């Protein structure tokens, strides 16, 4: 933040090699069942009443066989320079292909959780959805700001694909930067972040909003912690998707999921 001394900043690591855009999956039906339903993300469902988009269980009827909700969207997963999926997504990439792995998971962060930042992307998204909620600690006077994009995460790996699906259909457009680690790994990186709770099978039929129905309030501030290099560019277990989310005029954007929905920002 603006009050940190330069001496508190760890020396940056060498610049990583430039990332490369991922090629399409070799088999669009990978991970789909014999009827052509491609669970996106994998079940069991954690979709609550106010999650945006069509009901997850209706995707076969909504999109047709061997198609996921995001298959025909501009979303572009970015691979590291070595062309291999990041470790947290390696298992999913092997089963269902790169794009589905990046957007559905499942992720393997070793049970440490995850956090994502939807960052402005020229020509695609600039927080016009109205829910910028954080600042990167590298931004001057970060604790006075919430204008760098939208931050959201969880301490439970299983929530990842459900959050992505919800925010895709909410139209939270931009570049999606996600990393393993919830809580302490975020100290010195972001000043605050929203939280999504895991939804058990016992509560999924009655949950309204997994982004709200909890008591987690993650506001560590930047001034309270030494500034860290951003894990996205300094060797973190991270992954990136350009041109994330459905714009208002895109087919399949908006709408309530799980049998209902409203327009509240999350």
pLDDT of residue 22: 57
Give yes or no for a cis peptide into 44 (omega within 30° of 0).
Answer: yes
Let me know how long the chain is.
Answer: 266
Residues 62-102: tens digit of each pLDDT: 999 999 999 999 999 999 999 999 999 999 999 999 999 99
Longest dimension (CA), the chain: 59
* pLDDT < 70: residue spans in the chain: 1-29, 249-266
User: Strand, helix or coil at 175?
Assistant: strand
| Extents of the domains making up the chain | 28-259
pLDDT of residue 33: 92
pLDDT of residue 31: 84
Chain position carrying tokens 């996921």: 68
The residues, any chain, with a CB within 8 Å of residue 127's CB and separated by 6 or more, are 120, 147, 149, 150, 174
Q: Give the Å distances, CA to CA, from 262 to 53, 55, 132, 183.
A: 11, 14, 19, 29
pLDDT of residue 235: 83
Give the tokens for residue 206: 């009655």
How many whole angstroms separate alpha carbon 40 and alpha carbon 160? 11
CB 171 within 8 A of CB 254: yes
């Amino acid at each position: 933040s603006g009050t940190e001394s330069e001496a508190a900043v760890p020396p940056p690591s060498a610049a990583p090699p430039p990332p490369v855009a991922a090629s399409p999956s070799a088999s669009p039906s990978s991970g789909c069942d014999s009827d052509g339903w491609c669970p996106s993300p994998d079940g069991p469902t954690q979709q609550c009443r106010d999650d945006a988009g069509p009901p997850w269980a209706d995707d076969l009827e909504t999109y047709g066989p061997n198609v996921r909700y995001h298959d025909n969207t501009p979303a572009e997963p970015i691979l590291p320079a070595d062309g291999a999926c990041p470790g947290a997504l390696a298992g999913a990439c092997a089963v269902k292909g790169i794009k589905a792995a990046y957007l559905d998971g499942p992720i393997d962060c070793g049970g440490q959780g995850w956090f994502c930042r939807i960052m402005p992307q020229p020509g695609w998204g600039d927080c016009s959805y109205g829910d910028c909620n954080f600042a990167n600690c590298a931004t001057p006077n970060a604790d006075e700001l919430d204008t760098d994009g939208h931050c959201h995460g969880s301490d439970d790996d299983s929530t990842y694909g459900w959050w992505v699906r919800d925010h895709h259909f909410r139209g939270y457009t931009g570049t999606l930067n996600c990393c393993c680690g919830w809580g302490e790994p975020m100290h010195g990186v972001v000043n605050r972040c929203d939280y999504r709770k895991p939804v058990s099978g016992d509560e999924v039929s009655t949950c309204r909003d997994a982004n709200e129905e909890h008591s987690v309030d993650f506001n560590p501030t930047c001034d309270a912690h030494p500034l860290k290099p951003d894990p996205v560019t300094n060797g973190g277990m991270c992954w990136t998707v350009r041109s994330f989310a459905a714009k208002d005029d895109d087919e399949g954007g908006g709408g309530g999921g799980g049998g209902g929905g409203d327009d509240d920002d999350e």
